[in-house]
Amino acid sequence: MATVAERPPAASDQARAAERRRRRRRSARHRQLVALAFLSPWIVGFSLFYVYPMAASLYFSFTQYDILSDPVWVGLDNYRFMFTGDAQFWPAVRNTIWIIVFLVPLQVVFAIGAATVLTRVRRGLSIYRTIFFLPTMVPLVAAAVAWVFLLNPGGPVNRILGFLHLPEPLWFYDPAWTKPGLLMLGLWMVGQTMILFLAALLDVPTQLYEAAELEGAGPWQRFRHVTLPMISPVIFFAVVIGVIRGFQYFTEAFVVSQSGDATGLDNPIGYPQDSLLFYTSYLYQQGFEGFHMGYAAALSWVMFLVIMACTLVLIRSSRRWVHYQGGFK
Amino acid sequence: MRRRLIGLLALALLAAACTAGGGGDDSTTAASIDPNAQHDPLTLTVWSNFSGREFDVTTGVLQSIKQKYPWMTVKHVGGKDDAAILRAINGGTPPDMAISFTPANSARYCKTGAMQDLNPYLANDKVDKAAMWPPAIFSYTQFENVQCVLPMLTDAYGLYFNKALLAKAGITEPPKTLSELTAAAEKLTEYNADGSIKVAGYMPLLGFYSGNTVNVYGRGYDAKWYDQSGQPSLATDPSWAKMLQWQKSFVDSIGYDKLQKFAAKLGGGDSEWSAAHGFEQGKIAMMIDGEWRTAFIAADKSKVDYATAPPPTADDRTDLYGSGQVGGTIIGIPKGVKHAAESWLLVKYMSTDSGALTKLSDGLRNVPSTNDALASSELASDPHFKTFMEIFKHPKSTYKTLTPIGQVDEDLFGTFGQKWQAGKVPDLQSGLEQLDTQIAKQLQLG
């Protein structure tokens, strides 16, 4: 009787295991391909409209480039000029820091104040809420033009100041008053942040206030030790977004400095006296008036890195002062 | 993963390097066709930044080319500034003809080939440039012998004066020198009881209206922006310092704050383009402005009784009297157009045809830009307007020196001027030297 040579069981198990692994790999690859197929529109969009432009602008930042001619590699010259040779760079940086330092905290305080008032309103809340929110619906350019009219030295605001025998500033014609004028415009448009704070305030559990009251806490202590910690995630969000917007502050300043200048010659960008020359307006001037696209790309990369750094610092600092319900970090 | 990321970045950088500034044929040979031969219908696209009434007037004249070439139709697209035109050229989809309001950008257009050199087209059609145009137009339409754009009308700056106010002050003729202007302004300026200005004889503040620029004042001194080697000469040409000192002493004689308040109460720059304009309201007795003001005065139904004259010159440069700052709308054929020969027919029509230019000039109230159109224009019979036509024809009228940085130098000097008149520049010479350095660095950026 012929004996049937049986394959050793160990080898058979190995083959089956290898086959299972192959199937798993095939299956995993298939799942990956399916996922990739579903993700592909986003990947294509992200690569084309984010990765490529960013890589291109990084490359251009090391070149002399005017859009029309081929870029010429200049190494770090653009960055060197920015920090050591450009007389307009630092005034633009100073103006930008000014608007961030004053506008962001004021917007947060004003928004919290307005939201707090709204939480006390018994009747007609939706009307007041709409009134506060309405300015954010106005396009930025239209809002800026409206404030140019309001703060015109012969305009309504100065007429009221004159009636009250108060000094009448020249607002957007006086470099000392241009940025305070923009602050007022910024506070007028605080509705979006205010709505966030209103939602956050209404979300604070009432039992916390009751407990604080039983402990003898007064209104200020309740606000300081209950309200503020409970809305701190929204404050954090408002500050981060405000700082980023501050670095990108452009439209309002550009419209105000160019208002009434149909020829584009009598009011340089930043008028008057560079008091409204913000980082992005300077970037615009270099890119689209001087066609120094290489230098403008370098300016934009420095801004990107500074925004990243500031955001990281804020996120790091948030561990100390932002409190999440349920202890989420 | 790290390798993949590095690979992806390298690929993107390579792609960026390969695609940058690409595209387009740089050749400047003149394409030509016989316009009178049989042609398939063709629509040419024209981009400009015109709007409102001016857009309609320009569209009408552009479309009138159909009378000359029945096979040609023009589609006029407004709201396109220089940046939009450049983007389209760079993207390989330029309009067939581009209209720009910024002559300061001509140097860049010519240097980079963004607009095609029109010299071969002009030579092909035997257009005698010197006979066709007054010399002033070449100061803002060509760069390093490349004629990449041509003028489509032009602007000229002159002196407007309120005849009634001058007569009341016993001034019988308009000032011809800056000293005469200052003296007349002093006589004409009236004050309110609180010391504020009621009527300004002249507003010397830089950055006030369009005529209050360093460029316009600098023409009265023949001040040079750049020296022979192409370096900024604001500190080395003493004319600039003289001009700024004259302007500052004029401002100080009235008071910077008073002038600022007066300007602001008029509505600042906004009033320039409305019926609240200080001159039209009789609150400013004299001003330097462009020829377009004649149309605004009529349109705003202002009752001001006025006349025009050439702008005053420096006391020691009376030889310049009659000339002034000129420069206006430019047109050209962008790089990469599909129908260059047909585009040229349109550019030629809009820049050389007397009928088209006269019609456009009548509608827009800008100075006709060719010698023929200047001679045949009915506007020459308007004494207010004729002054500006004469200024344009003057051999010493010119635009500022063109450079590839466009109007960045004017912006820098404009801001410097504002600080100077506000008393924030302690040392003028040192300030001008720093300004020269800043402009030179901008030039180095390319």
- Per-residue pLDDT tens over the stretch B177-226: 999 999 999 999 999 999 999 999 999 999 888 889 999 999 999 999 99
Could you tell me which residues come within 8 angstroms of residue A29 by beta carbon, excluding any fewer than 6 positions away? none
Same domain as A192, residue A235: yes
pLDDT at position B99 over 50: yes
B208 or A5, higher pLDDT: B208
pLDDT at position B170 over 90: yes
H-assigned helices in B204-338 = 214-219, 238-254, 256-266, 293-299
Same domain as A141, residue A31: no
For helices A228-247 and A89-120, angle between their N-to-C axes, nearest 10 degrees: 150
pTM for this entry? 0.83
CB contacts, 8 Å: A59 with chain B: 13, 16-17, 20
Kindly report the average pLDDT of chain A as a whole number: 90
Mean pLDDT for A9-33 is 88
Mean pLDDT for A232-240 is 96
* Cβ–Cβ gap B16/A292 under 8 Å: no
Grade residue B25 by pLDDT with cuts at 50, 70 and 90. Answer: very low
Residue A316 lies in a domain: yes
* Cβ–Cβ gap B102/A290 under 8 Å: no
Same domain as A307, residue A265: yes
**Which structure tokens are listed for A75?**
């190494």
pLDDT at position A236 over 50: yes
CB contacts, 8 Å: A272 with chain B: 207, 418
Same domain as A136, residue A40: no
Among B30, B78, B81, B35, residue whose Cα is nearest residue B58: B78
Backbone torsions φ then ψ of A118, nearest 5 degrees: -65, -30
Grade residue A123 by pLDDT with cuts at 50, 70 and 90. Answer: confident
Right CATH for B35-155+327-388 from 3.40.190.10, 3.30.710.10, 3.90.180.10, 1.20.120.850? 3.40.190.10
Q: Which amino acid is at A145?
A: V
For helices B238-254 and B428-444, angle between their N-to-C axes, nearest 10 degrees: 130
Kindly report the average pLDDT of chain B as a whole number: 91
CA distance A169 to chain B (A): 9
Residue A116 lies in a domain: yes
Residue A225 lies in a domain: yes
Residue from the list A71, A81, A268 with its beta carbon closest to the beta carbon of B414:
A268
Distance CA B332, CA B141 (A): 10
**pLDDT for the residue numbered B16:** 47
- Per-residue pLDDT tens over the stretch A146-190: 999 899 888 899 999 999 999 989 899 899 999 999 999 999 999
Same domain as A150, residue A33: no
**pLDDT for the residue numbered B269:** 66
Mean pLDDT for B10-30 is 48
Same domain as A41, residue A111: no
CB contacts, 8 Å: B419 with chain A: 273
CATH homologous superfamily for B157-325+405-444? Periplasmic binding protein-like II (3.40.190.10)
Domain boundaries, chain B: 35-155+327-388, 157-325+405-444
Same domain as A229, residue A271: yes
**pLDDT for the residue numbered A260:** 57
Mean pLDDT for B275-284 is 94
* Cβ–Cβ gap A153/B422 under 8 Å: no
Same domain as A301, residue A177: yes
Pair B385, B365: CB distance under 8 Å: yes
**pLDDT for the residue numbered B380:** 79
For helices B340-352 and B52-63, angle between their N-to-C axes, nearest 10 degrees: 110
Could you tell me which residues come within 8 angstroms of residue B272 by beta carbon, excluding any fewer than 6 positions away? A260, A262, B209, B210
Beta-carbon pairs below 8 A across chains A and B: 168
Pair A172, A151: CB distance under 8 Å: yes
Picking from A258-262, B43-47, B107-111, B255-259, which range would have the lowest pLDDT averaged per residue? A258-262
Q: For testing the chain A interface, which of B81, B411, B444 should be mutated: the one with the most A CBs within 10 Å?
A: B411
CA distance B188 to chain A (A): 23
Residue from the list A78, A152, A264 with its beta carbon closest to the beta carbon of B267:
A152
**pLDDT for the residue numbered A7:** 57
Does B135 sit behind a cis peptide bond, omega within 30 degrees of 0 on the bond before it? no
**pLDDT for the residue numbered B21:** 43
Distance CA B401, CA B215 (A): 10
Grade residue A126 by pLDDT with cuts at 50, 70 and 90. Answer: confident
Q: By CB neighbour count within 10 A (0-12 exposed, 13-18 middle, 19+ buried), where does A203 fall? A: exposed
**pLDDT for the residue numbered B22:** 41
Within this chain, domains B35-155+327-388 and B157-325+405-444 share the same CATH topology: yes
CA distance A39 to chain B (A): 18
**pLDDT for the residue numbered A152:** 86
CB contacts, 8 Å: B411 with chain A: 268-269, 285, 289
**pLDDT for the residue numbered B268:** 67
Sheet holding B150-151, edge to edge: B72-77, B42-47, B97-100, B330-332, B150-151
**Which structure tokens are listed for B298?**
């009529």
* Cβ–Cβ gap B273/A60 under 8 Å: no
Same domain as A162, residue A36: no
Which residue range forms the structural domain that includes residue A50? 27-60
CB contacts, 8 Å: A291 with chain B: 86, 108, 404-406
Q: Which amino acid is at A182?
A: L
Same domain as A170, residue A90: yes
CA distance B104 to chain A (A): 10
Distance CA B93, CA B16 (A): 19
- Per-residue pLDDT tens over the stretch B36-90: 777 889 999 999 999 888 899 999 999 999 999 999 999 999 999 888 998 899 8
**pLDDT for the residue numbered A261:** 54
Residue A67 lies in a domain: no
For helices B238-254 and B408-421, angle between their N-to-C axes, nearest 10 degrees: 40
Same domain as A175, residue A31: no
Distance CA A39, CA B293 (A): 60
Structurally, chain A folds into a number of domains equal to: 2
> Within an 8 Å CB–CB cutoff, is residue A49 touching chain B?
no
CA distances from B296 to A38, B57, B98, B274 (A): 61, 16, 26, 8
CB contacts, 8 Å: B437 with chain A: 87
Residue A16 lies in a domain: no
CB contacts, 8 Å: B422 with chain A: 175, 273
For helices A89-120 and A125-137, angle between their N-to-C axes, nearest 10 degrees: 160
- Per-residue pLDDT tens over the stretch A245-304: 999 999 999 999 887 554 445 577 888 889 999 999 999 989 888 889 999 999 999 999
Mean pLDDT for A11-29 is 89
For helices A191-202 and A228-247, angle between their N-to-C axes, nearest 10 degrees: 160
β-pair partners for B45: B75
Same domain as A241, residue A182: yes
Q: Which of residues 293-312 of A touch B (CB under 8 A)?
A: 294-295
Mean pLDDT for A22-33 is 92
Distance CA A239, CA A109 (A): 11
Among B116, B79, B112, residue whose Cα is nearest residue B96: B116
Q: Which of residues 181-240 of A touch B (CB under 8 A)?
A: none
- Per-residue pLDDT tens over the stretch B331-388: 999 999 999 999 999 999 999 999 999 999 999 999 999 999 999 888 878 999 999 9
β-pair partners for B199: B190
CATH of the domain at A236: 1.10.3720.10
B375 or B15, higher pLDDT: B375
Would the CA dihedral through B99, B76, B347, B21 be positive or negative?
positive
- Residues above pLDDT 90, as percent of chain A: 75
Mean pLDDT for A230-249 is 96
The single-letter DSSP state of residue B208 is S
ipTM: 0.77
CA distance A158 to chain B (A): 10
* Cβ–Cβ gap B269/A69 under 8 Å: no
* Cβ–Cβ gap B260/A170 under 8 Å: yes
- Per-residue pLDDT tens over the stretch A38-47: 999 999 999 9
